[in-house]
Amino acid sequence: MAREKWNSKLGFILAASGSAVGLGNLWKFPYETYSNGGSAFIFVYLLATILVGLPIMMAEIFIGKSTNKNPIGAFKTLHPSAWHIIGWLGIASGFVILSYYSVVGGWTLRYFLQTLTGAYLSMNQEQVASDFGSFVQDGMAQILFHTVFMFMIVGIVILGVRKGIELAGKILMPMLFIILLILVVMAIQTSGFYQSILYLFYPDFSKITTNSIIESMGQSFFSLSLGMGAIITYGSYMQKNEPIIKDAITIVFFDTMVAIMACLMIFPILFTFELKPNASIGILFSTLPLLFLKMPGGIVIGPLFFLLVIFAALTSGVSLLEVVVSYFIDEKGWNRKKATIVIGMAIWILGFPSALSNGGWSWLSGMKWIGERNFFDSLDYLASSWMLPIGGIFIAIFTGWIVSKEIRNESFAKDHDGFYNVIVFLLKYVSPLLVFLVLLNVTGIL
């Protein structure tokens, strides 16, 4: 059977944006910004995205597009040597990330139901916050919602590239953007808006810490879906001979916009209601119900918003699963149905300890795995701070040093020489070196 392809270029851009825009932007970025001092984090994040994220985005699209293969097959085709180990690392990352990602995806399902039934209407702000706390400690509910979320992802991936993934991106991405805009406009009108603008954008370089640099780099990889071959896989469904610069810039721009908009929507609420710093991983969930309570039409927009967060999470989760599935289809000759179901089940099971580690099972939530982190946080740390950056370094080195000529021929229009030189320079020297320094730091060597 012929390998599948996107219907159109726009279909690719929206699907890749669908992969990039997800819980990383709406849930993770705001709480990392919060725990790393606001504007300082946003500043290093933007820097990391331009110097590391954008070039690697191009590198991944190129690797996929020029080979039409899954991450492992793609490296094997471009260069028959040990490079395909990067592909393996990517497949492992897909497994790890989706297992806990789906747990948070489950939270969005539950918040959709809660806002739909008006459960928050009678609550005050303490109750809204403690509602999140008791929900994550409810083991049964955690497993249930995680299971439903995995089901939905498996359902989309089974439908295939055009009928499942591309269609989902085309419908959901534009809607998400519009709703976000409405919410930002609402948040602007709260009294905490001015304070949050200062907090988010007034440069305060003294607040830059090693931790914010490390986390911003990992977050940039995570948010842009880089370092594990998700974009390689999506690139592999592109038609040949299309320049990729504009696509890459569009996806990166869109993803960054959504992350910043998420902050513009959440922080004014945080300041207006003087919510406690311990909002951390619950920040998205314990602030928004308050916004919906205050705004006219909130009773409609509330569920609508969570529906869109669900969609954002789904289109990202789909890309995580698709990486692993495409490998089993291309290299092992499985059909799509078998690959999707078998792998979906395996990831579902791996998600259990994450689902139960935020309080569901007390003995498990008391257990520390990496440093002070519980199981859920340890997987996120392992993936975002290690697996994705390591994958990213090698992808950059591979494209910058080994196949850079091919990139020029395949993916850059003739009049883009200057841009090409900059990108190759970044891929050769800047991105690998920066990521490497960050890794040395994570290990405590630096």
| Residues within the interface to ligand TRP (CB under 6 A) | 19-20, 22-25, 97, 222-223, 225, 228, 230, 316, 319-320, 388
Minimum distance of ligand TRP from residue 86's CB (angstroms):
13
- Nearest approach in angstroms of CB 295 to ligand TRP is 26
CB neighbours of 120 closer than 8 A, spacing ≥ 6? Answer: 114, 128, 131, 289, 292, 293, 302
Minimum distance of ligand TRP from residue 229's CB (angstroms): 8
Report the residue number, 190 or 354, with the smaller CB distance to ligand TRP.
Answer: 354
CA 142 to chain centre: 21
Residues, the chain: 446
Q: Is 304 within 8 Å of 117 (Cβ atoms)?
A: no
Q: Which residues contact 7 (CB under 8 A, 6 or more apart)?
A: 162, 166
Whose Cβ is closer to ligand TRP: residue 97's or residue 439's?
A: 97
For ligand TRP, the nearest residue by Cβ is: 24
Smallest distance from ligand TRP to CB 303, Å: 21
Q: Contact 42/260 with Cβ under 8 angstroms?
A: yes
Instruction: Tell me the Ramachandran region of residue 38: left when phi exceeds 0, alpha when psi lies from -120 to 50, beta otherwise.
Output: left
* Cβ proximity to ligand TRP, 22 vs 303, nearer residue: 22
Q: 395 or 424, CB closer to ligand TRP? A: 395
Amino acid found at 297: G
Give CA–CA dist 38/200, Å, rounded. Answer: 5
Shortest reach from residue 261's CB to ligand TRP, in Å: 14
Please state the closest distance from residue 284 (CB atom) to ligand TRP, in A. Answer: 12
Residue 316 or residue 326: which is nearer to ligand TRP going by CB? Answer: 316
Q: Pick between residue 250 and residue 404 the one whose CB is nearest to ligand TRP.
A: 250
Our CB check for ligand TRP shows the closer of 156 and 186 to be 156
Cβ–Cβ < 8 Å for 301, 183: yes
Residue closer to ligand TRP (CB basis): 129 or 153: 153
Tell me how crowded residue 50 is: count the other CB atoms within 10 A of its CB: 14
Instruction: Please report how close the Cβ of residue 410 comes to ligand TRP at its closest, in angstroms.
Output: 23
To the nearest whole angstrom, how small is the minimum distance from the Cβ of residue 96 to ligand TRP? 10
Residue with tokens 């180990």: 85
Rounded Cα–Cα distance for residues 70 and 68 (Å): 7
For every residue of 231-245, DSSP letters joined together read HHHHHTTSPSS---H
Least Cβ distance, residue 418 to ligand TRP (angstroms)? 30
Nearer to ligand TRP, 262 or 364 (CB): 262
Q: Which residues contact 105 (CB under 8 A, 6 or more apart)?
A: 23, 145, 146, 149, 153, 310, 313, 314, 317
Q: Secondary structure of the chain: what % helix, strand, coil (to 5)? A: 80, 0, 20
Min separation Cβ 95 and ligand TRP, Å:
11
User: How far apart, in whole angstroms, are the C-alpha atoms of residue 104 and residue 142?
Assistant: 9
**Distance between first and last Cα of the chain:** 51
Residue with Cβ nearer ligand TRP (228 or 264)? 228
Asked whether the beta carbons of 105 and 310 are under 8 A apart, the reply is yes
